[in-house]
Amino acid sequence: MRGYILVLMLGLLAPAAMAADEVVVSPLKSAGEIAYYPKLTSFPDPQIRDRVNKILAGYGLKQSQDRRDCFKQLQEQHMQKDKDSFYTAIEVTYISRRFLSLSVDGSYYCGVAYPVNGAASPITMDLTHGVEVDWKKPFKPGFLSVADPKTGKTTVGKLAGLYRARYAKIRTDKDDQECRDAIGSEEFLDVTLRLDRAQGGLVIDPQLAHVVQACDEDIVFSEAELAPYIADPNLLADLRDLGASSRAKH
């Protein structure tokens, strides 16, 4: 599959003299028992490129080990693997000069009490520094929920209120009351986030207990909704660009 090419024009130059930096990532999608994490095949800073690729390669090695462990557990229980035993779907959902986001969804059954279906573990790389984004850092204190390691008491962040308000507008049927109650009781300690160009914003997905996984909703938040809580100007700029791109499509 051809890589994703992002051409960034630098400066207000005449077209013939315009400078360009190219960001290429490949593959865009991969899925199956063995799924391949993408690589930056072209990037303006080779040191950043190599650091990012090393981190993504590490995820690939971990996936291979997890697959071997799963099949070993099945073998120990005298069970045969099949096409549903271990499946991963990886997709590049956003690429810019500053960020690279991947959706990573895993489904597997390794002989335990119940299968895992579509477990989300997205990855966002900070291409300015060549590290994985720690989502506690781009936001102002108090946005994400935190637990006191000494007392175990949870301080619910602003994100929980934003998510619950949007959730209530999506899940409006009477049959959804149980899910609305479940979302209302969640502490939002385990939340995944990723940038998504097709959806035009930041996708937020709380990781729910197995008994209420059917209540899960990926909700997309825009720059306008998140701006009061963002401390990182790079994230703010990219969300603004995402919003502009989304509006242009419509």
pLDDT digits over 30-44, tens only?
999 999 999 999 999
- Report the C-alpha gap between 176 and 215 in whole angstroms: 8
Least confident of 42-46, 80-84, 127-131: 80-84
Q: What is the Cα gyration radius of the chain? A: 20
- Report the C-alpha gap between 170 and 159 in whole angstroms: 17
- Report the C-alpha gap between 71 and 91 in whole angstroms: 24
Amino acid identity of residue 64, one-letter, is: S
Fold entry, domain 1-133: Heat Shock Protein 90 (3.30.565)
**95 in Cβ contact with 77 (< 8 Å):** no
Mean pLDDT of 186-206: 92
Mean pLDDT of 106-126: 91
What confidence category does residue 21 fall into, taking pLDDT thresholds of 50, 70 and 90? Answer: low
Which residues are 89's β-sheet partners? 31, 105
Query: Which helix (H) or strand (E) element contains residue 236?
Result: helix 233-249
The domain segmentation of the chain, as residue ranges, is 1-133, 134-250
**59 in Cβ contact with 65 (< 8 Å):** no
Mean pLDDT of 184-196: 89
Q: Which residues contact 103 (CB under 8 A, 6 or more apart)?
A: 89, 90, 91, 93, 120, 122, 194, 196
Amino acid identity of residue 245, one-letter, is: S
Residues, the chain, total? 250
- Report the C-alpha gap between 101 and 118 in whole angstroms: 17
Mean pLDDT of 90-104: 97
Q: Which of 126-135, 188-197, 203-212 has the highest mean pLDDT?
A: 126-135
Lay out the sheet containing 201-206: strands in order across.
191-196, 201-206, 219-221
**87 in Cβ contact with 96 (< 8 Å):** no
- Report the C-alpha gap between 155 and 208 in whole angstroms: 18
Query: Which helix (H) or strand (E) element contains residue 59?
Result: helix 46-76
- Report the C-alpha gap between 124 and 102 in whole angstroms: 6
Mean pLDDT of 183-198: 90
Mean pLDDT of 5-29: 56
What confidence category does residue 3 fall into, taking pLDDT thresholds of 50, 70 and 90? Answer: low
- Given a cut of 50, is residue 18 above it in pLDDT? no
pTM of the model: 0.87
pLDDT score of 1: 47
Give the whole-number percent of the chain exceeding pLDDT 70: 90
- Report the C-alpha gap between 194 and 238 in whole angstroms: 12
- Given a cut of 60, is residue 147 above it in pLDDT? yes
Q: Scanning the structure block, which residue is given the tokens 């499509």?
A: 249
What are the phi and psi torsion angles at 124 (to 5°)? -125, 125
